[in-house]
């Protein structure tokens, strides 16, 4: 009824134009269409960073604060993981939900604009992720992959998974540091001293 009033002949041309715009956007959202123009969508995609994202930086600070030393994007390790702990042959990747296809069967149904391009691109990323993981595991590496939202919502679960891997590699039962959100989901765990994964050398985070 409000939209009908907006589009009456007594309304100004500007008001009618805005009303039509509201209807078009609502219809595009209802049909699952992209509500941005191609130029706006291009700018949004260009603004997405492949490295140095907030979740990645947050995980790095958590690892560093727990005494875990790591390398960033080493060229001599397959896939150039976001975090590499060579002493324990552990590769950690922080994957974005959109670019790496989380809930892919549901997400790909929403594409309408340039559908074939985006489906092919993201499925290619997913295929590359599987190939990198397989290649690392064949070389004796352990691979941990975290979604960005997992780091945002449950950072303790993510950091505890890393610390547990390190503790087991040291022949211990569990890390000394067990975050609250980890214990809430997985229950209490025995504690043991934690060793730094890499020597304390003067290299950056």
Distances (CA, A) of 154 to 32, 160, 165, 180: 30, 10, 18, 10
Q: What is the Cα–Cα distance from 1 to 194, expressed in whole angstroms?
A: 65
Chain center to CA of 41: 20
| Percent of the chain predicted with pLDDT > 70 | 59
**From CA 159, how far away is CA 56, in angstroms rounded?**
12
Q: Which of 156, 151, 158, 153 is nearest to 181 (CA)?
A: 156
**Other Cβ atoms closer than 10 A to 135:** 13
Each residue of 154-205: pLDDT tens digit? 998 899 899 989 988 888 766 555 555 543 443 443 343 344 444 444 434 3
Q: Collect all residues with Cβ–Cβ distance below 8 Å to 66 and sequence separation of at least 6.
A: 159, 163, 175, 177, 194
Of the candidates 98, 103, 114, 106, the one whose C-alpha atom is nearest the C-alpha of residue 50 is 98
**Domain spans of the chain, in order of start:** 50-186
Residue 71 DSSP one-character state: B
Nearest Cα to 136, choosing from 80, 184, 53?
80
CB atoms near residue 74 (< 10 Å): 15
Using a CB cutoff of 8 Å and minimum separation of 24, what contacts does 117-123 make? Answer: 122/98
Mean pLDDT of the chain: 74
Query: What confidence category does residue 114 fall into, taking pLDDT thresholds of 50, 70 and 90?
Result: confident
Burial label, 117 (beta-carbon count in 10 A; 0-12, 13-18, 19+):
exposed
169, 187 Cβ separation under 8 angstroms: no
* Mean pLDDT along residues 74-82: 94
**Segment 98-123 mean pLDDT:** 89
Q: How confident is the model at residue 75 (pLDDT cuts 50, 70, 90)?
A: very high
Q: What CA–CA distance (Å, rounded) separates 77 from 91?
A: 9
- Rg of the chain's alpha carbons, rounded to an integer? 23
Superfamily of domain 50-186: VSR Endonuclease (3.40.960.10)
What is the DSSP-derived secondary structure letter of residue 18? H
| pTM above threshold 0.75 | no
């Amino acid at each position: 009824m409000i939209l009908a009033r907006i589009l009456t002949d007594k309304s100004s041309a500007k008001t009618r134009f805005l009303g039509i715009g509201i209807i078009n956007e609502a219809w595009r959202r209802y049909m699952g269409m992209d509500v941005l123009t191609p130029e706006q969508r291009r700018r949004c995609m260009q603004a997405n960073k492949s490295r140095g994202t907030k979740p990645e930086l947050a995980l790095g600070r958590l690892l560093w604060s727990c005494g875990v030393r790591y390398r960033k994007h080493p060229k001599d390790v397959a896939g150039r993981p976001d975090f590499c702990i060579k002493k324990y042959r552990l590769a950690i990747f922080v994957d974005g939900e959109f670019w790496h296809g989380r809930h892919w069967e549901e997400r790909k149904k929403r594409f309408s604009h340039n559908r074939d391009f985006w489906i092919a691109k993201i499925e290619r990323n997913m295929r590359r992720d599987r190939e990198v993981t397989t290649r690392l595991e064949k070389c004796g590496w352990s691979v941990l992959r975290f979604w960005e939202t997992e780091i945002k919502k449950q950072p303790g679960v993510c950091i505890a998974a890393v610390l547990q891997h390190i503790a087991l590699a040291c022949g211990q039962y569990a890390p000394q540091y067990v975050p609250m959100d980890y214990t809430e989901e997985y229950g209490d765990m025995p504690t043991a001293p934690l060793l730094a994964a890499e020597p304390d050398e003067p290299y950056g985070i």
